[in-house]
A and B are shown apart, each in its own frame.
Chain A
Amino acid sequence: MSPRQKAKIETPESLERLRESILAQERPDAKTVVVCCGTGCLASGSHDVRESFEQEIRAQEPDGDIIVKKAGCRGYCEHGPIVVVEPESMFYHCVTTGDVSEIVSESLNKGDSVERLLYEDPATGKKCVHEIDIPFYKKQRRLVLRNCGHVDPTDIQDYVRFDGYQALAKVISKLSPEEVISHIKESGLRGRGGAGFPTGLKWESSRNAPGEVKYIVCNGDEGDPGAFMDRSVMEGDPHIVLEGMMIAGYAVGSNKGIIYVRSEYPLAVQHLTTAIAQATDLGLLGDNIMGSGFAFEIEIVKGAGAFVCGESTALVMSIEGKRGFPLPLPRPNTSVSGLWGMPTVLNNVETLACVPVIIQKGAEWFSHIGTDKSKGTKVFALSGHVRNTGLVEVSMGTTLREIIYDIGGGVRGSKRFKAVQTGGPSGGCIPESLLDLPVDYESLAEAGSIMGSGGMLVMDEDTCMVNMARYFLDFAQEESCGQCTLCKLGTRQMFQILYDITKGEGRPGDIEVLLELAEAVKAGSICGLGQSVPNPVITTIKYFKEEYEEHIHEKRCRALVCRQLISYRIKDYRCKACLLCLKACPVDAIIGAKWQVHEIDQTKCIKCGTCMEVCPPKFKAVECVSGQEM
């Protein structure tokens, strides 16, 4: 590894010298084993993989310099642990400790790829050696995630090697704060947290607002279930967030940054803490940064588990140590009067991560990416019933179909596509007929959904839309802060009605009541949470009304999901009394014994379907039936 630089970086030139010296020390024949150590890959055992690489390299002593490097998330978590061998960039997925020795001997020693660990394109059956060959990555355009999976998140030197802090150096040595703001304005960058407010305007109003102290708050309270791009950026490339914040601080005239992170993300907190310490050691944070006279410090505040704190005023309340109650209208903009009544720029992680690249490559370059009104790229967390799940970064304006089918590989198994949900609990469900919708702020809003923080959940025909709406409303009523009547009681009431419908207790007229409640909650709630949580109800009714009607009038769930409307049973003439399902049942609801045909105790059954899964296909003894057929 490159020798540690202890001396502080005092000028932009010394940063450049440091970068050059790091590059100079790299031997051209050196090989790097990059092991993904994001939360996803760690859960699949990448820590052990990395250790066994180190052991194996000591044991086999391959030629040349070999560096084992840990890196952040590559977004293809389902195929983790992921190992990439540089400089050939051979991409191995699902690597276990047992595979390490082979990779070392084949790839590191001989430079050959290990065929069986390569990704196989399911469409063509061809093996993909490089990341870029894999369909999942082919159509992506990675700006925000450009370093994720490449840079070592716990080593500032590695970030500097990847042109890190160059944008900051450029800003403080060559640009005035006003120029920075006009750059950002020209780039057309809009907030990635959901509402899409132009970032440049936000900075400008904060800059112009009077205030002794100004704050830059990075919103890392990624509460939307199903979204994890901010986590990946904070974990995999923490310095880009710091750099973005510093540039914002310089532009706005702020010396104090706060990163508000969910405490569900311990690794992100850890990496950010390390990054702040390292940047401070190098003099990139603190007083007189690179000799410019600009001072900036960053503090981490951990969230305490409240979804509503992703809302700007609630987040400010939370940092101030109060209940996370959003402020009702009329209220001053946070950018004018936010934390402790001072001008506060509140930007999402992804927004801030866009800033350095805009400065480096220019506003014009950035504004050519994307659509007319939505510039740049957007990261989506693709999940659900799709073949390739993970983080996907695409140019704005890419259609949903491209994301789901070309990148995501389409729906899993032989099921049919039903809907895609964007924007988490604040978004809506979009049906197949709208799949050619380009993804940008306006188009999604028109379809009744929102961009949101970028969750994208694909649902197949086995998903019940009423149940889905119930799920989101359950989340909403649980996370409603309780301050305003409409949101508190409205979400509860909608949840109750939806719950009744899924139980088969729906009443004629329920759909109209739901719509009326949804519209009122949308119009009358205090904050963005209340104003947007009815979206899942409105859109599912709009696009999937017939499913609601089936539930209400026929007491039937076509997807066989709603538990009270279905039951599992064992066909006695097919059951071979093999005990498989009996043992697998998580709640011991199956009665029977060896030589005695099994039966399901319907009072105990939680309808999880485990019995159906374990029943050998040749027996096919378990079936799921709609309640009406019982």
Chain B
Amino acid sequence: MKEGRLGKILSVFKGKKGGLISILQRVQEEFGYLPEEALSEIAVFMGLSSSQVFSVATFYAHFYLNRRGDHLVRVCQGTACHVRGARNILETAQYKLGIKTGETTEDYKYSLERVACLGSCALAPIVVIDDTLYPQITTKKMTEILASVSDCEKYEGTELRKR
């Protein structure tokens, strides 16, 4: 099944120059991360050595080689967020989720990540969970948000609401 899904993505890129990064992005969108077999197959498709594909995939911060959690919690550590206490927010998230930055909880529910800047500096500090942006976070809000996200988990399909 995997092969079919991968082949479909690759066929779009047939005959295109470069584009390794776009392929990796598409494959990750499809699988949620970059499975090793997919990387080897991409290497064959691109006519590159597999180590070269691995090297590109590990260079960029957005590519993951392991399965990620269902919810991606990204805590902005940009300058503006930093001076308004983003480090405390990150540590609160680490404590509440019981994982370190870059890790995924054992039940594959959450992945925690720090990001350099999300460009919403005026609303610092920022947290983004999946695609929802939470502005002007405090440690208290962070705790509440994580609780509300896991609450929503219980009712599958419920849209995650902010605030």
**A interface with B by C-beta (< 8 Å):** 39-40, 42-45, 76-78, 80, 222-228, 231, 262-266, 301-307, 318-324, 340, 381-385, 389-391, 421, 424-425, 455, 457, 459, 463, 468, 471-472, 475, 478-479, 481, 584, 586-588, 606, 608-610, 613-614
Contacts and interface: CB of A to CB of B under 8 A. Distances in A.
B20 to A, nearest CB: 3
B91 to A, nearest CB: 5
Nearest to B17: A340
> Most chain-B CB neighbours within 10 Å: which of A318, A391, A479, A613?
A318
A256 to B, nearest CB: 11
Contacts of A481: 59
Given A323-B59, A587-B91, A610 B139 contact: yes
B139 to A, nearest CB: 4
Nearest to A474: B77
A424 B60 contact: no
B92 A587 contact: yes
A77 B122 contact: yes
B140 A323 contact: no
A443 B121 CA distance: 25
10 contacts: A226-B80, A306-B61, A389-B121, A390-B122, A391-B122, A455-B121, A472-B79, A586-B91, A587-B95, A606-B91
Contacts of A606: 88, 91-92, 95
Contacts, number: 174
B55 interface: yes
Contacts of B84: 384-385
B116 A40 contact: no
- 7 interchain residue pairs of minimum CB distance: A321-B20, A608-B88, A305-B61, A225-B78, A228-B119, A304-B60, A225-B117
Contacts of A301: 21-22
Nearest to A427: B79
Contacts of B121: 225-228, 381, 383, 389, 455
Given A389-B124, A586-B96, A610-B88, 7 more contacts: A302-B25, A383-B121, A384-B83, A584-B140, A606-B88, A608-B91, A613-B138
A150 to B, nearest CB: 19
A80 to B, nearest CB: 8
Contacts of A322: 20, 56
B162 interface: yes
Given A305-B61, A318-B21, A319-B18, A586 B79 contact: no
B117 A226 contact: yes
Given A302-B25, A305-B60, A471-B82, A609 B88 contact: yes
Nearest to A608: B88
B83 A78 contact: no
B116 A321 contact: no
> Most chain-A CB neighbours within 10 Å: which of B61, B85, B120, B134?
B120
Given A321-B20, A608-B91, A43 B123 contact: yes
Nearest to A304: B60
Nearest to B28: A304
A454 B61 CA distance: 24
B62 interface: yes
Contacts of A320: 18
A322 B20 CA distance: 8
B2 interface: no
A382 B80 CA distance: 9
Interface string B7-36: 000000000011111101100000000000
B73 interface: no
Given A263-B25, A264-B118, A610-B138, A225 B79 contact: yes
Contacts of A340: 17-18
B143 interface: yes
B115 interface: yes
A455 B116 CA distance: 14
Contact of A457 (B61, B77, B80, B92): B80
Given A226-B80, A383-B80, A606-B88, A43 B117 contact: no
A304 B24 contact: yes
A390 B133 CA distance: 17
Contacts of B83: 384-385, 457, 459, 463, 468
Contacts of B69: none
Given A263-B62, A586-B92, A44 B123 contact: yes
B163 interface: yes
A276 to B, nearest CB: 16
A265 B85 contact: no
> Most chain-A CB neighbours within 10 Å: which of B46, B131, B135?
B135
A222 B116 CA distance: 11
B133 A43 contact: yes
Interface string B126-156: 1000010111001110110000000000000
B15 to A, nearest CB: 14
B80 A225 contact: yes
Given A44-B123, A320-B18, A306 B60 contact: yes
A42 B63 CA distance: 27
Contacts of B22: 301-302, 321
Nearest to B20: A321
Interface in B52-93: 55-56, 59-63, 77-85, 88, 91-92
